[in-house]
Amino acid sequence: MPDDRQAPSPSDIQKAHQDWLEQLYAPATAQTPERRSFEVDIGKKIEPLYSPASLEEIGFDHDRDVGFPGQYPFTRGDSPTMYRTEPFVVSAYSGYGEAVECNKRFRKLIGLGVEQILVAFDLPTQCGYDSDDLMSAGEVGKVGVSIDTLADMELLFDGIPLNSVKRVGTLGNAIGPIVAALYAALGEKQGLDYSQYTVNLQNDPLKEYLARGTQIIPAEPAARLAVDPVVWCAEHAPHWSPITVCYNHLNAGGAGSTWGASLALANAIHYLDLLVARGLPIDKVAPLFHMFPDERHDFFVSVANLRALRRTWARLLRERYGAQATASLALKTTVYGHGQETLQEPLNNIVRIGFGTLAYVLGGASYVYIASYDEAVSTPTEETVRVAIRTQQILAQEHGFTDTIDPLGGSYFVETLTKTTAEDMWAQIARIDEIGGALRVIDSGFGREIMNRGAQLRQKRLDSGQRPWVTVNMYPEKPNVPNTAFRMDPSTTERQHARTAEIRRTRDNDRVQRALAAIDKACEQGENQMPAVLEAVRAYATVGEICERWRRAYGTFEPSVAF
């Protein structure tokens, strides 16, 4: 028999939704009071129920707001087939000590199935100091591997051809041209053409002034240096990723993932503007950009944030720059899977990291690397790194998480959160435009104000228990640092000093001085730094020697006290 029942109209659903809410919160029903405010870290209140009425209320339109994978606005993914034909790249961010011992860890990672090695540099390297500089005392090899010259890179990748993995790279920011030159020169030493391997650089100095502090020179010349490798790659290595705009540390510092995305997008706008001003077509340089999203507190916010970021990027590139190429509009993302890791009962971090990474996978990230469960304690041990890699592989291969594209697409909750988050990002970018863009965000104190306000709000919620944190504000435990925590060889610094001294003694120092003089000239004349820096790296000039030329030419950064 035919079914004469009619589908409920939107108005019927809206009324049913409202009736349900009124019944839930009617005083006469004596419902148990809600135990907390249910506000996510971005300050958005989470409703008790989402339905088609929620989508109607926000003016949701499938074609405009969601579409299909690999098509504008790329909400559902940057390619038509996503993980069904190209699983996310299993990556590892690793580095400690000096190059010889770190090389052993890299070999083991590759043996476990890692497809991308992102090198963690120690703080002296990131800040442009050699290991034997007074400024490096006590920090050599502590939070990453010490790299002074090309010789260290040769040892770091000894027996590891750069084309034996899908991608290599690093998250160094203030020394972007040097890092690009190190990988280019290393490839040459290994007999490889640039086209035979792929390099991924973060190379995003502007976020350092707000969030992390490894900046070297003032922000304006630092941004110009950052786009030099992009110009060089557009000509010599167009398949490399020479700039990955990051909001990991912006979020962690207090901005939250939505404001963090907006601040990062403002940085991207500044870099793109510099490139367009140099006469490069937008569809030639935009495909070289990636982004590094971050949301570590809320699972569904993480999914929505990734989807909203792709949508916002596509709209930004089309409306502001007139980009047409799919490669320009379809943003690739690298993510760092983690949760609210704790020193208390570190084994619990395996669960946190697994769920945090799953959110990124369901949100459609392109490249994934994740924390080890003891990372809050020390440099990860080999055992904990193995767990991290297996976690990525399990998510990629088991349980059907990657069998279908954008599996949470169409969820009333996720689509509502995605649309409102994208609208917030767009409004926040407009606010940044009003104050003068990314550089003004830094020197006016606006960015620090956003981050300080967010950090205070986040801490108040944690202190009050409004944001539950197991073993910290719920079921509290004392920090528990296991006896198995990684300990670095105390002779690392001595070995690194000796190696760098030997390089300085045996290299062609006349060639080094000529190369450093060419850097001086490039600074004076406003030329692209990459050719001169690449020649200096080939001659075994040190990271510190090159950065000292930049300090002389541009000065050092002086923080604003505007706020």
Same domain, 234 and 106: yes
The answer for residues whose C-beta is within 8 angstroms of residue 475's C-beta and 6 or more apart is none
Same domain, 221 and 121: yes
Q: What's the one-letter identity of residue 518?
A: A
Q: What is the DSSP string of 13-59?
A: HHHHHHHHHHHHH-GGGTPPPPSS--B-TTSPBPPS---HHHHHHTT
Query: Quick check: is 482 in a domain?
Result: no
> Which residue segment(s) compose the domain that 537 sits in?
496-554
Residues of the chain with pLDDT under 70: 1-10, 25-35, 481-486, 560-563
Same domain, 354 and 225: yes
Query: Quick check: is 479 in a domain?
Result: no
Same domain, 300 and 414: yes
Same domain, 355 and 454: yes
Same domain, 459 and 504: no
Work out the burial of residue 56: count CB atoms within 10 Å of its CB; fewer than 13 is exposed, 13-18 middle, 19 or more buried: middle
Query: Quick check: is 321 in a domain?
Result: yes
Same domain, 431 and 504: no
Residue 272 sits in a domain of what CATH number? 3.20.20.240
Q: What's the one-letter identity of residue 233?
A: C
Same domain, 175 and 267: yes
pLDDT for res 13: 77
Same domain, 425 and 523: no
Query: Quick check: is 74 in a domain?
Result: no
Same domain, 448 and 335: yes
Report the number of distinct structural domains present in the chain: 2
pLDDT for res 563: 45
Query: Quick check: is 20 in a domain?
Result: no
How far apart, in whole angstroms, are the C-alpha atoms of residue 333 and residue 359? 14
Output the six-digit token pair for 463. Answer: 């202190």
pLDDT for res 485: 62
Query: Quick check: is 59 in a domain?
Result: no
How far apart, in whole angstroms, are the C-alpha atoms of residue 480 and residue 491? 27
Query: Quick check: is 36 in a domain?
Result: no
Query: Quick check: is 237 in a domain?
Result: yes
Same domain, 322 and 263: yes
- Domain ends where: 440, 464, 488? 464
Cis? peptide before 293, omega within 30° of 0: no
How far apart, in whole angstroms, are the C-alpha atoms of residue 422 and residue 169? 30
User: 363, 306 in Cβ contact below 8 A?
Assistant: yes
pLDDT for res 16: 81
Same domain, 311 and 368: yes
How far apart, in whole angstroms, are the C-alpha atoms of residue 69 and residue 88? 15
How far apart, in whole angstroms, are the C-alpha atoms of residue 246 and residue 267? 9
What's the Cα-to-Cα distance from 86 to each of 114, 307, 357, 396, rounded to whole Å?
A: 15, 18, 17, 10
